[in-house]
């Protein structure tokens, strides 16, 4: 099949291994002949012949032939949407990924606050030790000059 089609009359046995990967033949039955029924691709999947499938056998009853109506072609078919999703994947937007970036930013903020605190305390310690050292050094120098 080169298109998606809805089976209107007769039965078909198709091989959908191109789409599903299963090599089990599937029997497709005709769409019920209710005038108020609207076609829905998910609801009427057992009546739809998909693009990329191989029709193995057709069966008809009485004088009626097997009829199907084309509903989509090209990239609008099931095979086309599969190819399109492979070629142009939708952008991945995970909530976990966004939260992980926020968490890393929070950790970076805490680390930089810790870094600033450490630098400030070390500078204060060096300044107090340096002034204490210079006082002791001047005392020693002055004491040596007196002698």
Residues contacting residue 6 through CB under 8 Å, at least 6 positions apart: 31, 39, 44, 47, 48, 49, 68, 69, 71
Mind listing the pLDDT tens digit for each residue in 11-32?
Answer: 888 888 877 777 788 888 888 8
- Contact between 66 and 59 under an 8 Å Cβ cutoff? The reply is yes
pLDDT band at 3 (very low <50, low <70, confident <90, very high): confident
Res 105 pLDDT > 90: yes
The pLDDT assigned to 117 comes to: 95
Tokens representing 135 are: 């006082």
């Amino acid at each position: 099949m080169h298109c998606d089609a809805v089976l209107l009359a007769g039965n078909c046995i198709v091989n959908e291994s191109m789409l599903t990967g299963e090599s089990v033949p599937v029997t497709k039955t005709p769409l019920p002949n209710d005038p108020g029924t609207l076609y829905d691709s998910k609801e009427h999947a057992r009546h739809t012949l998909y693009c990329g499938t191989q029709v193995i056998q057709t069966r008809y009853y009485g004088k009626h032939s097997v009829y199907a109506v084309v509903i989509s072609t090209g990239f609008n078919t099931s095979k086309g949407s599969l190819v399109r999703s492979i070629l142009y994947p939708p952008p991945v937007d995970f909530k976990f990924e966004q939260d992980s970036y926020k968490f890393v930013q929070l950790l970076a903020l805490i680390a930089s606050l810790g870094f600033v605190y450490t630098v400030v305390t070390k500078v204060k310690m060096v300044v107090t030790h340096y002034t204490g050292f210079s006082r002791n050094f001047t005392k020693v120098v002055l004491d040596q000059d007196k002698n």
